[in-house]
Structure 1
Amino acid sequence: MITAIVPAAVLTIYAIIAAVVLPRLLGEAKWADRAPRLAIAVWQAACASVIVSVLLAVFVLAVPAAVVGHGLAEFFAACEEMLTDGPDLIMATMGSGAAVAGALIVRVAWCAVSVLTGARAERRRHAEMLALLGRHDGALNAIVVDFDERLAYCVPGRRGRAVITTGALRDLSEEEAAAVLAHERAHLRGRHHLVLAFGEVLARAFPGVPLFERARTELARLVELLADDLAARRHPRIVIAAALVRLATGRAPAFTLGAGGETALIRVRRMLTPEPPLDRRGRLTGALAVGLLLAGPAMVALVPGLVSLLAHHCHELLFA
């Protein structure tokens, strides 16, 4: 039990510090706008590492190190021994650990179901409205809605579709409209709504946690930057910038991903004054950071089991 306390404490302290410090460090990272796809992965890995660290801290305290070190057969033997003759402290620790881990998992699962089913229901209702009010334009490969406000957005899902209003078509040139719709189709192909759902689930499950609150905002911004970059592969950046200026005041439905919105003007500057892409060393460093964030907690949690395993084999060698 004493051996397990140190890794559990390390994991718990890391989770607390990371939840407060990481949003500041990642939020100030200048490279994120140059590599939005990598930045999305880093934010998601940071959030996952905090959740996993808490779960593993509970696991380390609740499961004896010998169980991890000696294998499945001794797991059942250990369980049987603890259920019959085990100390009350161990039983209480295992029960408390299971309760904490279960509550954490249930909370995340409940919020995930709530977010995903709610968004799906809203998209279904909106799709029914589009079927009545919109028309499919084969040349644009999008749904056109007769509406004066300048809007372009996509409705994600199994049969995702790009939507543009007549108000937007009236003010955009043909090339600008094509660039905007390329942006929206990039959202659909990349399933960016799931990235947004990830941030929304954690922020809703654990309100007030700085990392999750900041991650929700940053993920929403980064998917827009990523879609801009993907659209820029086929359309000039100045065309995308001009389209964003005209769509900046548009307010797409909350459950969709729109080309305009609050970040539009910031993205215009990024399109007009692009920075060089992140170099190979920077991308490798980011990938290593993702790997460390995901694997680090597991490595710490394995320490008690490895110590127990080494002690067991050393004992066998000495007294064989």
Structure 2
Amino acid sequence: MIGLFHVPFLASLEHVPLHQVMEVWPAVVPVACAAGAAMAVQLVLLVRRWFRHRSLLKRAWLAAEEGATDGDLLVLADSDVDAFALPGYRGRPGRVVVTSGMLRTLKDGERDVLLAHERAHLEGRHHLLSAVVDLAAVVHPAVRSLRQSLDFHLERWADETAAAVVGDRRAAAAAIARAALAASSRSRTVGYPLLSATSGPVPQRVAELLLPEPSAPQGGIRQAGAAGMGMIVAVVAVGTLALAYGLHEYVEYAARQLIGTPSGCSGLWNMVHKLFGE
């Protein structure tokens, strides 16, 4: 187990000579080089993905500059049926972007549902959650399976908020179904980070809206979502600290085994040692 931490960089931090590490584990250099190359590739992919997000956001803002604004609403003179939440960019606040084709497709009450849905995305800063998961999936394939589920729950969050705003769940369901049906074959696919009421598994979302309102404390789904985001941040922070501390303990133990310094393993190492052995 301690051989995993016999890498040149960690050895230098612990003042352990490289030749002494190589005597214990001859494969340290090729393994360290392979790990470094893998990390470099992941870094390149991560940076490329980030710039792709920024480029998409920039193009969306350039296209939106041709529209007419009314508060946080930006209407594009376009026959395509489309609507999405456009996050803020370079000091400009977020906007709800709707094409004239979408406005003509929906009835008055249905327009209110659509606008409330997209505003919920902006107010909840859903694009940040989407970005974090999307970037994490680049460096950890296991996270990719979460992306579709996250998108669905973000849309459900916005659906419930819109239904609460208009006070009619059936009207909200009808508006989302009509908008998605009209946009399915005509609107452009904008993807991240432009969250839209017409994306995701719309039939399942509509079915959920036709059910009775979920029981929730005052503040409903918004408070639950905020609590969920706080919990995610807390778990990631605590997990990162725990992993860093555990890595430190492993390296300290490896150094003690190599250079023969007095042992004094911490409680964390003792626990790991009992569970897994050397």
Q: CA RMSD in A?
A: 3.9
Aligned partners of 1:267 and 1:261: how far apart in 2? Answer: 10
Aligned partners of 1:254 and 1:271: how far apart in 2? Answer: 24
- Following TM superposition, by how much is the alpha carbon of 1:305 offset from its aligned partner in structure 2, in angstroms? 6.0
The answer to whether the 8 Å contact 2:151/2:200 transfers is no
Q: What per-residue deviation string (whole Å, max 9, x for no partner) do you get for residues 254-296 of structure 1?
A: 24211113422211111221443599xxx99x959x8499366
Q: What per-residue deviation string (whole Å, max 9, x for no partner) do you get for residues 159-207 of structure 1?
A: 332111222222323343233222212222333233333333344456x
Q: Which residue in the other structure is 1:265 paired with?
A: 203
Q: Which residue in the other structure is 2:39 paired with?
A: 105
Q: Which residue in the other structure is 2:128 paired with?
A: 194
The answer to whether the 8 Å contact 1:150/1:167 transfers is yes
Equivalenced residue count is 237
1:312 has 2:246 as partner? no
Q: Which amino acid aligns with 1:119?
A: H
Aligned partners of 1:212 and 1:106: how far apart in 2? Answer: 19
Aligned partners of 1:103 and 1:168: how far apart in 2? Answer: 48
Q: Which residue in the other structure is 2:170 paired with?
A: 238
Q: Which amino acid aligns with 1:125?
A: R
Aligned partners of 2:243 and 2:216: how far apart in 1? Answer: 31
Q: Which amino acid aligns with 1:242?
A: A
Aligned partners of 2:78 and 2:265: how far apart in 1? Answer: 74
1:254 to 168, 178, 191: 191
Aligned partners of 1:217 and 1:154: how far apart in 2? Answer: 18
Q: Which residue in the other structure is 1:17 paired with?
A: none
1:155 to 59, 73, 86: 86
Q: Which residue in the other structure is 1:135 paired with?
A: 68
SS in 1 for 2:98: strand
Q: Which residue in the other structure is 2:153 paired with?
A: 222
1:294 has 2:225 as partner? no
Give the alignment's TM-score, normalised by structure 2.
0.67
Change in Cα spacing, 1:291 to 1:253, as seen in structure 2 (3 Å) is closer
Q: Which residue in the other structure is 1:35 paired with?
A: none
Q: Which residue in the other structure is 1:212 paired with?
A: 143
SS in 2 for 1:164: strand
Q: Which amino acid aligns with 1:260?
A: T
The answer to whether the 8 Å contact 1:137/1:143 transfers is yes
Q: Which runs of 5+ in 2 are unaligned?
A: 221-226, 267-278
SS in 2 for 1:144: strand
Aligned partners of 2:17 and 2:110: how far apart in 1? Answer: 69
The answer to whether the 8 Å contact 1:111/1:201 transfers is no
The answer to whether the 8 Å contact 2:173/2:209 transfers is yes
SS in 2 for 1:182: helix
Deviates more, 1:301-310 or 1:222-231: 301-310
The answer to whether the 8 Å contact 1:82/1:91 transfers is no
The answer to whether the 8 Å contact 1:145/1:166 transfers is yes
Aligned partners of 1:217 and 1:238: how far apart in 2? Answer: 25
Aligned partners of 2:150 and 2:123: how far apart in 1? Answer: 17
- Following TM superposition, by how much is the alpha carbon of 1:217 offset from its aligned partner in structure 2, in angstroms? 1.7
Aligned partners of 1:244 and 1:130: how far apart in 2? Answer: 23
Bigger helix share: 1
Q: Which residue in the other structure is 1:72 paired with?
A: none
Q: Which amino acid aligns with 1:82?
A: P
- Following TM superposition, by how much is the alpha carbon of 1:142 offset from its aligned partner in structure 2, in angstroms? 0.8
The answer to whether the 8 Å contact 1:238/1:272 transfers is yes
Q: Which residue in the other structure is 1:62 paired with?
A: 7
Q: Which runs of 5+ in 1 are unaligned?
A: 6-57, 68-74, 315-320
Aligned partners of 2:136 and 2:265: how far apart in 1? Answer: 42
SS in 2 for 1:311: coil
Change in Cα spacing, 1:92 to 1:194, as seen in structure 2 (3 Å) is farther
Aligned partners of 1:89 and 1:227: how far apart in 2? Answer: 59
